[in-house]
Amino acid sequence: MTGDILKYLREKECVSGEVLAQKLGISRVAVWKQIQKLKDMEYKITSDQNLGYCLVSRPDLLLPQEIQRGLSTNYIGKEIFYFPELKSSNRMAKEKALHRAEGIGEGTLIIAERQSGGKGRLGRKWFSPAGGIWLSIILYPQLPPSYIPRITLVTAVAVVKAIKMCTQIKSQIKWPNDILINEKKVCGILTEMSAELDIINWVVVGIGINANIDHQKFPEDIQAKTVSLKEVSGKEILRVRFAQIFLQEFEKYYESLKRREFSSILKEWKLYFHTLGRKIRVDMGERIVTGEAVNINENGALILKKEDGELIKIISGTILK
């Protein structure tokens, strides 16, 4: 109902309570209550005796009705669960993904304005204050589990594209899941899943983008290696627009992946490959290996050339330097 009221206010800016009541088939008191709800969501609406209700400004919040308005995807973001505060959107998305049969469809989003227990890779904490974009996408791809690393790569390409389209800034991908600007992390991706031997039950892709966060707000231990889009571009970014562009790009690349057209995505990914040609150390969990990052293969694995010339494939790991 608040969505309908917004639609009329956006069309005309000012609409009388009487007209709204007529259009929506509700009483003027019910209209008033819906207006109060919108005000609670930080929409600025004035009421004038002659003009009626006037929409003065919209909030800078990632509200579903704001994101969905003008979103040109087919299914990504068609259903959005929005929270002013959440422990972790990935955690919530994983709970929801278990309820696929109850209508939690592919492309459902969980969005939080801030997270009290944001999760990073390898059990790390993810700093998630207001001003960032913290969202998780629920997917049910009919692909073999070996495709999971490719979903992270697809997401990374979509983020890089969205950053370029919204801010003109070039960013790079640090394999497998970090997006960097000038060597500093601006976004992290956390892909979680449930799979059996040969099928994927669900995938949750969590994306954390440091959008409008002031540098001094980052915890000291990560300040030197973290950056926000606002800082680099010198102005606040329109988070709703960013989210829309990202979701559109994501759906495009994810569709290609589902058609198993990965080579074109990989080609693009390599254009943004931060680590290519660098000498790095990779923590593979059971051991740390050193070598030159020479490629990414068709499965999304990092190919490292060790000092003795041996090439090794790393499916999962963390680059230390």
Binding site for ligand BTN (CB under 6 A): 88-90, 115, 118-121, 124, 126, 128, 134-136, 177-178, 188-190, 206-208
Closest separation in Å from C-beta 135 to ligand BTN: 6
- Beta carbon nearer to ligand BTN, 108 or 177: 177
Sign of CA dihedral 164, 167, 173, 176: negative
In whole angstroms, give the CA distance from residue 167 to residue 233: 7
Closest separation in Å from C-beta 230 to ligand BTN: 17
Contact 231, 249 (CB under 8 A): no
| Burial readout 174-207 (b: 16 or more C-beta within 10 A, e: otherwise) | bbbbbbbbeebbbbbbbbbbebeeeebebbbbbb
- Beta carbon nearer to ligand BTN, 135 or 296: 135
Closest separation in Å from C-beta 292 to ligand BTN: 23
Which neighbouring-strand residues pair with 304? 293, 312
In whole angstroms, give the CA distance from residue 169 to residue 268: 17
Cβ-closest position to ligand BTN? 188
Closest separation in Å from C-beta 15 to ligand BTN: 37
- Beta carbon nearer to ligand BTN, 119 or 161: 119
Closest separation in Å from C-beta 27 to ligand BTN: 41
CA end-to-end distance (rounded Å), the chain = 52
- Beta carbon nearer to ligand BTN, 116 or 263: 116
Contact 55, 48 (CB under 8 A): no
- Beta carbon nearer to ligand BTN, 6 or 190: 190
